[in-house]
Structure 1
Amino acid sequence: MAYSSARRCKSDIGLAIWGIPAKRFYAAVGAVTGVSKEFEVNLVSAEDCHHAARNC
């Protein structure tokens, strides 16, 4: 991908998580929000992940 040095490529990190009770899920999301200035960090329940993503 060609881009100017003034532009930054924006990327994110998606983390699948297991074993967090539903009532604690949003607390976990809050814990990782803002962890990185370079990347957006997202959490998703592993049970809700696409089948292909779970087999990595």
Structure 2
Amino acid sequence: MRVEVLIGMVDAIARMWAGDKVPAREGGERLQALLPQLLRACAVDADTFMRAFEAASGP
């Protein structure tokens, strides 16, 4: 459950920045900096997150 919530949060943040016209590269850098904090806050390990994120993103 936590992983799905975290994926939703990351997606919402990315969409918000895109709506604010933050360049994709800068948005990616921001997410990379923010992700470790989000993982800790949600008690999700990086491998679990990446597997779930890739599965949610589709082929």
- Whether the TM-score (by the shorter chain) exceeds 0.5 is no
Whichever structure has more strand as a proportion of its residues is: 1
Whichever structure has more helix as a proportion of its residues is: 2
Higher gyration radius (CA): 1
Give the structure-1-normalised TM-score. Answer: 0.37
Higher RCO (C-alpha under 8 Å, 6+ residues apart): 2
Give the structure-2-normalised TM-score. Answer: 0.36
